[in-house]
Amino acid sequence: MLPKILPIIFCTLLTPLLIALPCEVSAETELESGGMVIKADVMTHDQNTGIVQATGNIVMEWKGMTLASRELSLDRNSNIVTATGNVVVVKGNETAKGERLVIDTDNERGEMDNGTLFSKQKWGGVYLSGEKIVREGDESVFVSRGTLTTCDGTSPFWKIGAKELKSDMLEYGTGNDAIFYIKETPVMYLPWIAFPVARDRQSGFLLPVFGWSKKRGGELDLRYYWAIDPSQDMTFHLDSLTRRGVGTGVDYRYLRSRGSDGYMNGYLIHDFLDERWRGKIDQKHTEILSGDMNFRTSVNLTTDRRYLDDYGEENGEYNKHTNDSTFNLLKTWQNYALTANVRYTQDYYAENNRKTLQTLPELGISAVRQQIFSTPLYFDMDMTATSFYRENGVTGERFAASPRLTFIGGIPGYLNGSAFAGIRGRAYHTTGRDGENIDRNSAKALPEAGASISTTLARVYEVDGESLQKLRHEIVPEISFYYSPHQDQSSLPLYDYNDRLLHQNIAYFGITSHLGGKFRQGESYEYRDISRISLMQGYSIDGNRRDLLTAVDVQKPWSDLILTSETWLDRNSKLAFDSRFNLYEKRFSSVAPGIELDNGIGSTASLYYRMSRDFVEYLEARVSTKAITPWTFGYTARYSFDRSAFLESVYSAEYRHQCWSVNMAFRDRHGSPSFLVNFNLAGLGENTL
């Protein structure tokens, strides 16, 4: 250490006597001045001019910035630092490289010649390059005759060249006389551009979406993204449709305290094909008022019944029967829950909405099952008060209460048993007109009772495989009974299925098989399900029965045989099956098999079949794969066996590069094809809340 210090001491002592001749300090010297630290192999200080010259392995640290270069000079009189030769500056998430850099340490202004400034972002980063880069403090940046890109490498796939680029590095930048290049080929001239450059999402124009459809013609969607603050943002749309007109839309998203959040989508267009205004509003909100109280809304409204058929984008939107808007308030206590609900329904299959029944509102109180003192008896109850409304037809109020008393017993470890008895009461005040003016009160009370008994047979098998260590197999047989007497309910109004309680005198027999496993995961273990199979059938004691999907069958006491199962092929893939089999007709009343596959590295597939006898029969398939890098391909199809035709087919493809991507989708819906193309430049079109 002493040999390195001696030159400094010698230079300091003799400098006044040598008429301020330049003094050289070598061997990894270090200078501290005003919070600035400069290290170099060789350093000289001219006492007359106040200039410090450094060469060789230079590193300068100042206010969180680290600078490296081949040569550096510091003018102590003007506080100007000049660095030349492979200049590299690193500060926070930013790195600048250039031939020459001049820094005024008084106002923190820096000028770099023939340089590049890289601002690292969570999605990649922005490169600003130019003949001169001027930096004012930590915010403002000016680039003359420069380029902008988010691509790595010396030959980026795309870039924007401009006469002037300006950025505040906290929100967004702008450019004048800009040209968009793909490789070195100019593609488009832009007199002015705005681009986000901050570390978080920022306001700015997004790349347009192009498309075509048979119903709407050519489509061009211009979008502006507004980052209001860290917890909310909006996207504005200007949508040009050559066969329909010009539409405007807005998407608003927000986050609130305690996990509350929501969004709102609105769209409005003057459809010159229909010569009227058309549009929609979609809104969802969840307000967590406290740990035991929340408020939820879901608004789904359209201006007309054919709007979703003409403009709907989501699968299944175009053939919706109804659209519901709901408001729900939930307050819970340890043993009770209070609900308040409002439901407004648009019926798209009705001539108009005047006869559509609305729930305005419904109040409910539920008492969860709770033990009565220390007895084996438990009490629970549900109560609702509902107000029904419609413009034309019968309306009124309904009060319903279902108190129930349950006995729970059995033989611990061998047999589980329970029995219940209760009353399902309803009272109505009915008004309106149904062929005649109605204003009357009515009420009914229907007793109900039931019982169940079950046991669990379990066994554990040692496997000691490479992954599977143990198997646990459970078999749960169960017998249950439910009874409610026959009652004439024709005097009661009919608002929904709760107004007609079915007579039942039926016993159910069921058995459930559950298989689970203990799997080795490295140094730890994981328990997960392998399969669950349930088989159940009912027997009507008085010979009559009614299943969910069939009318009343006389003297056919056996219900449909119900089989449900879930089988997990691995952690991400499973098979599912749900069926109802009619023993008398020897055919399935309903079948719903399905399979979901996921290889965990970007490829998924699912296939579902739905059949309800005399109601519906269709097949739905989804496939997505990233096996062909950098492509992602997807396919979705819904096929109706009733119509012997595809309801909808969607083909999609995404090509993703390090700094750009393109999304393409072809949709064929009821013979009305459409095609959309969306380009994304990394950092200029990706904003998430």
SS (H, E, C) 139-192: CEEEEEEEEEECCCCCCCCEEEEEEEEEECCCCEEEEEEEEEEECCEEEEEEEE
At residue 27, the pLDDT reads 40
At residue 389, the pLDDT reads 93
Q: Is the pLDDT of residue 20 over 50?
A: no
Q: Is the pLDDT of residue 551 over 70?
A: no
Give Dmax over CA atoms of the chain in angstroms.
Answer: 126
Percentage of the chain with pLDDT > 90? Answer: 56
The span from the CA of 543 to the CA of 184, in Å, is 83
At residue 553, the pLDDT reads 52
At residue 294, the pLDDT reads 96
The H helix count followed by the E strand count for the chain is 2, 40
SS (H, E, C) 386-453: EEEECCCCEEEEEEEEEEEEEEEEEECCCEEEEEEEEEEEEEEEEEEECCCEEEEEEEEEEEEEEEEE
Q: How many C-beta atoms lie closer than 10 Å to residue 519's C-beta?
A: 20
Q: Is the pLDDT of residue 634 over 80?
A: yes
Average pLDDT, the chain: 87
At residue 4, the pLDDT reads 43
Distances (CA, A) of 134 to 62, 67, 149, 198, 577: 18, 16, 18, 17, 66
At residue 155, the pLDDT reads 87
The tokens for 289 are 């008022």
Average of pLDDT values for 81-89? 95
At residue 113, the pLDDT reads 95
Distances (CA, A) of 406 to 381, 479, 660: 11, 17, 63
The span from the CA of 505 to the CA of 250, in Å, is 55
The span from the CA of 440 to the CA of 427, in Å, is 11
* Selection from 626, 621, 625, 647 nearest residue 636 by Cα: 621
Task: Return the residue matching tokens 């084996």.
Answer: 376
What are the φ/ψ torsions at residue 6 (nearest 5 degrees)?
-55, -45
Long-range Cβ contact pairs of 111-117 (< 8 A, separation 24 or more): 111/135, 112/87, 115/87, 117/141, 117/143
* Selection from 641, 613, 489 nearest residue 551 by Cα: 613
Tell me the pLDDT band of 217, cut-offs 50, 70 and 90: very high
Question: To the nearest 10°, the Cα dihedral for 159, 165, 169, 173?
Answer: -80
Higher pLDDT, 194 or 266: 266
Tell me the pLDDT band of 26, cut-offs 50, 70 and 90: very low
Task: Return the residue matching tokens 């820096």.
Answer: 110
Tell me the pLDDT band of 262, cut-offs 50, 70 and 90: very high
Q: Does 361 sit behind a cis peptide bond, omega within 30 degrees of 0 on the bond before it?
A: yes
Average of pLDDT values for 446-459? 96
Average of pLDDT values for 413-436? 89
The span from the CA of 154 to the CA of 148, in Å, is 13
At residue 547, the pLDDT reads 55
pTM (two decimals): 0.74
Mean pLDDT is lowest, of 60-74, 324-338, 425-439, for 425-439
Q: 659's torsion region: left (phi>0), alpha (psi -120 to 50) or beta? A: alpha
Give 61's contacts (C-beta < 8 A, 6+ positions apart).
36, 37, 67
At residue 17, the pLDDT reads 35
Q: Is the pLDDT of residue 259 over 50?
A: yes
SS (H, E, C) 83-122: EEEEEEEEECCEEEEEEEEEEECCCCEEEEEEEEEEEEEC
Average of pLDDT values for 98-121? 91
DSSP assignment string, 520-564: EETTEEEEEEEEEEEEEEEEETTS-B--TTS-PBTT--B--EEEE
Mean pLDDT is lowest, of 281-295, 315-329, 556-570, for 315-329
At residue 609, the pLDDT reads 96
At residue 123, the pLDDT reads 66
The tokens for 581 are 């089999």
Give 261's contacts (C-beta < 8 A, 6+ positions apart).
253, 254, 255, 285, 286
The tokens for 224 are 């502006």
Distances (CA, A) of 559 to 103, 505, 548, 552: 87, 12, 10, 11
Mean pLDDT comparison of 119-123, 138-142, 337-341, 494-498, highest-scoring range: 337-341
* Selection from 354, 345, 248, 353 nearest residue 299 by Cα: 345
Strands 261-271 vs 437-454: parallel, antiparallel or unpaired: unpaired
Percentage of the chain with pLDDT > 70? Answer: 90
Q: Is the pLDDT of residue 320 over 50?
A: yes
473 touches 459 (CB < 8 A): yes
Beta bridge pairs of residue 603: none
Average of pLDDT values for 466-493? 93
- Residue 409, CA atoms < 13 Å, CB-side half-sphere: 8
Q: Is the pLDDT of residue 657 over 90?
A: no
Average of pLDDT values for 294-309? 93
490 touches 501 (CB < 8 A): no
At residue 121, the pLDDT reads 74
Question: Which tens digits make up the pLDDT trace of 432-446?
Answer: 876 667 788 999 999
Tell me the pLDDT band of 595, cut-offs 50, 70 and 90: very high
Q: Is the pLDDT of residue 623 over 90?
A: yes
At residue 316, the pLDDT reads 64
Average of pLDDT values for 397-420? 95
At residue 288, the pLDDT reads 94
The span from the CA of 598 to the CA of 689, in Å, is 27
Higher pLDDT, 502 or 81: 81
Mean pLDDT is lowest, of 158-172, 468-482, 548-562, for 548-562
Question: Which tens digits make up the pLDDT trace of 386-400?
Answer: 999 998 888 999 999
Residue 334, Cβ density class (10 Å: 0-12 exposed, 13-18 middle, ≥19 buried): exposed
Q: Is the pLDDT of residue 493 over 70?
A: yes
Q: Is the pLDDT of residue 548 over 70?
A: no
